[in-house]
Structure 1
Amino acid sequence: MSFPRIFFFLLLPFPPCFFYSLIFTTSHPPPRFTFTAVADLSTLTDVSLHCSIYIYTPSTQMSGRTIRCYYEVLEVERKATSDEIRSAYKKKSLQYHPDRNYGNTEEAAVKFKEVQNAYTVLSDVNERAWYDAHRESILRGGDGSCDPDEINLYAYFSASCYDGYEDDEGGFYAVYRKVFDTLIEEEGDYESRAKSWPTFGDSGSAWADVQKFYTHWRNFSTVKHFAWKDEYKVNEMEDRYTRRAADRINQKARSSAKKEYVQNVQSLAQFVYRRDPRVKAELERQEQENAAKEEEQQRRDADRQRKRRAANEKMWAEAAEKEEREEEERAARGETMDGSVLEMLYEKQRKAQEEQKRGAATGDDEGGAASLNCPACKKRFKTSNQFKEHVNSNKHKTKLKQLASKGIDVEALMKGDAATEERDTPADDANTDA
């Protein structure tokens, strides 16, 4: 859009090293007044005063469709909370749902789509923040301060710019394919490699191509230089200090415009991504695939656990059978004494040792001498400590097991039963000799 401009050039005296810039704008887009003064720092004799007045009427039309404010669509305040927006959306959805408007289905469908689009944007924190920051530009379709050949992106941040999700003209794919093809063409004017950037495609595009497209455009970076944003013609300034000051302002203006442009393109790519049926279909497919993988993993885990339980049960059964066979073999050999009986004998021996100590303390030398005899091992000990150490030794315990396996009553033997000792000892000697 072009604007009438009025230029004034005055010669005014200003203090030395003076550089002044003032921009005055109203709170709404239509009037804009820019005042800029640049002093000639070398001569300090003149100052150029530049005044521009822009007068225009904002447009809210896009291809015959009215772009309405999303807050107006939901009839909520701009400071509305998320709960208020959600409540308004439910109310408007019921009001304009095509199934509830039998006599006016077509118009209701358009409004219902508008309500859905408004809620999609305002319910997302990031999209709402971006919309609030660019609301005026979106409603008026841009402010004209851009490259004459640059496409107006703000008009495409609305579902009203396309009709349906078909491949025909005016549909979702045709509209946004044209938008991104135009962006590629614009970038290609500054860098030839930009012409090979991924395109939007259509409803039949492979997911690999769609993924490549969104990976690039959601991380978009422009190659444009934005020289048309320069506020001063540096090459027309004679003084180098003035040129440097003006160049800094120009570079700042370029950087700011470039940053905003990149953010707009990335935001548009994200806007389209959230509404692309191809993306929704792929996400559903991935979700189903992940669910199937998780189910298969659970099945494998259950199978492994079942096999582990079966292996443990088999091992336990084999161990029980082995123990039963060993018990039968011991019974056949007369080995009826198990570990618990031997442990009981060891306990009796320890008690006997305590009695021996008490007997030694009372001076019962005869009883003490008798008590230091080990009939099983046929050994006598001079001190109770030697006898105690012997009784707790592995050699003594092994001897008791050998005697028990031969059917000898080792309990009576250790008590010092003479008859038992006389009866059992020869047999032991005979066996030993044999």
Structure 2
Amino acid sequence: MRVCYYELLNVARTASPEELKKAYRKQALIWHPDKNAHRIQQATDQFALIQEAYEVLSDPQERAWYDGHRDAILRGDDSVGQKDSSAGTTVDDLMGYFSISQYRGYNDDPKGFFHIYRTLFQKLEDEEEEAVASGASDEVQSFTRYPSFGSSSTPFADDDGYLGYGAYVKDFYNAWMTFSSAKSFQWADKWRLSEAPNRFVKRAMEKENKKARETAKKEYNDTIRNLVAFVRKRDPRYKAYQDQQKAKKDAQVAENKARAQRERLELQAKAAAYKEQEWARVGEEADSVSEDEDEDEDENGDYDDAFYCVACNKYFKSQRQFENHEQSKKHIKIVQDLREQMLADEENLDLQAIPLQMDDTEEGESIEPVNLTDVGEEIAIIQTEEAE
């Protein structure tokens, strides 16, 4: 009779993760082989069982499965009673393989991990092939072989050269993780149809039998899929592959960081060694002529009238300063304001209709506006006469 995992750790079935961890550490200290030299073999076996118990119960998914099938797992192959030989391997038979006590070491020996589970899955595959060949399955018409479990030297996945489907452990797990049995599960029937008194009772019996078969098939499929997950988690080849993938990922992350650091240093070096172009310096010098510098120019200095800005009323020492000033925002603003002011004054000035203000006009007498064109002609006539 197998020992319950909760009893191994000496905790209640409602224990929290923290309580499980504390109990595991306590039991591990008690049964560690280094502390039990007088019973080294017993301590080694017990210590392995304690590790297995904590490994299962600390995983929420595996713990839920264990709690739901605890009694069947504890019975294992020790269960007694009649069973239909056509059923082949049953759920109760599989429960015994949910334990590390089923094998001794991770090797290819007859009691080793790889031999035990390779033999088991080969047997399950043979039963599925027989069910299809006998015509017991209505769903599957042809059978496809599953990839082999392999040995300790079988590669988990493709690394250098692809060897084909089925040559890798990864193919095995991918196929069995989606396992669906082709068996009929007729041994799960509750009623014998030949005993039905009439067709109505027979129809009810068929309905209950069909439901019982579907339930048995679902339980069988779930058991095998969970067993595959249980085995994969403890498969040294899978663990080595996970470590290898993690190492590659860490190396890639480190390489990305190093490349980013190199690029950053290269950019800093280029920025430090950057030599400003001549044309860029000239442009900056032109822009550096500020408005304050224009205002600080000495208006009484000895400047050339050729470098005088009428709009801003300023003198400049050289042609370059004068050109820079003409490009400044302040000068452009002043010129624009003057242009707008002159346009406004021109619109307001109407020389064609200017009324004459006569001091000696009598009250009520209207004064007509003077036509400047006529006045201009009279002045021209007078000037001509005087010249003669």
* TM superposition score normalised by structure 1: 0.61
- Given candidates 151, 159, 166, the residue that maps to 1:202 is 151
User: Where does 1:75-114 land on structure 2 (aligned, <5 Å)?
Assistant: 75-114=10-49
CA distance in 2, matches of 1:336, 1:243: 114
The answer as to whether partners of 1:164 and 1:172 remain within 8 angstroms in 2 is yes
| Count of aligned positions | 296
Q: Which moved more, 1:204-213 or 1:116-125?
A: 204-213
**Contact 1:97–1:112 under 8 Å retained in 2:** yes
Aligned to 1:279: 238
SS of residue matched to 2:107: coil
CA distance in 1, matches of 2:4, 2:127: 29
Measured at CA, do residues 382 and 301 of structure 1 come closer, stay the same or move farther in structure 2, by a change above 3 Å?
A: closer
1:154 corresponds in structure 2 to 95
Change (3 A) 1:125 1:386: farther
Cα 1:185/1:340, change in 2 over 3 Å:
farther
State the superposition RMSD in angstroms.
3.3
Alignment correspondent of 1:343: 329
Identical-residue share of aligned pairs (%)? 36
Aligned-partner Cα distance in 2 for 1:274–1:317: 61
Secondary structure (helix, strand or coil) at the match of 1:164 reads coil
Matched, 1:222 2:181: yes
What CA distance in whole angstroms lies between the structure 2 residues aligned with 1:134 and 1:342?
A: 89
Structure 1 residue 262 displacement after superposition: 0.7
Following superposition of structure 1 onto structure 2, how do residues 4-403 of structure 1 map, counting pairs within 5 Å?
60=1, 67-141=2-76, 144=81, 147-148=84-85, 149-150=88-89, 152-191=93-132, 194=143, 196-208=145-157, 209-237=168-196, 239-309=198-268, 317-319=275-277, 321-324=278-281, 334-337=319-322, 338=324, 342-346=328-332, 383=345
Q: Deviations over 1:369-392 (max 9, x none)?
A: xxx5xxxxxxxx6716799xxxxx
The superposition leaves residues 240-275 of structure 1 with CA deviations (integer Å, 9 ceiling, x where unpaired) of: 111111111111111111111111101111111111
> Distance between the aligned counterparts of 2:146 and 2:201, measured in 1?
40
- Contact map agreement 1:153 1:264 (CA 8 A) in 2: yes
Q: Which has the larger displacement, 245-254 or 145-154?
A: 145-154
User: Cα offset for 1:352?
Assistant: 7.6
Cα deviations by residue, 1:33-80 (Å, 9 ceiling, x for unpaired):
xxxxxxxxxxxxxxxxxxxxxxxxxxx2xxxxxx21101110111111
SS at match of 1:383: helix
Asked whether the equivalents of residues 187 and 195 of structure 1 are also in contact (C-alpha less than 8 Å), the reply is no
Instruction: Judging by fraction of residues, say which structure has more strand.
Output: 1
The amino acid of 1:322's aligned partner reads: W
The residue type equivalent to 1:196 in the other structure is: R
Counterpart residue type for residue 182 of structure 1: K
Query: Where does structure 2 lack aligned partners over 5 or more consecutive residues?
Result: 134-141, 158-167, 288-317, 350-388
Q: Label 1:183 to 1:146 Cα distance change in 2 as closer, same or farther (>3 A).
A: farther
Provide the rounded CA distance (Å) in 1 between the counterparts of 2:348 and 2:48: 102
After TM superposition, the score normalised by the length of structure 2 is: 0.68
Amino acid at match of 1:166: N
Instruction: Give me the whole-angstrom Cα distance separating, in 1, the residues matched to 2:337 and 2:285.
Output: 33
Distance 1:324 1:260 in 2: 83
Q: 1:329, CA displacement in angstroms?
A: 11
After superposition, the Cα gap between the structure-2 partners of 1:255 and 1:334, relative to the gap in structure 1 and judged at 3 Å, is same
Classify the secondary structure of the residue corresponding to 2:3.
coil
Asked whether the equivalents of residues 184 and 195 of structure 1 are also in contact (C-alpha less than 8 Å), the reply is: no
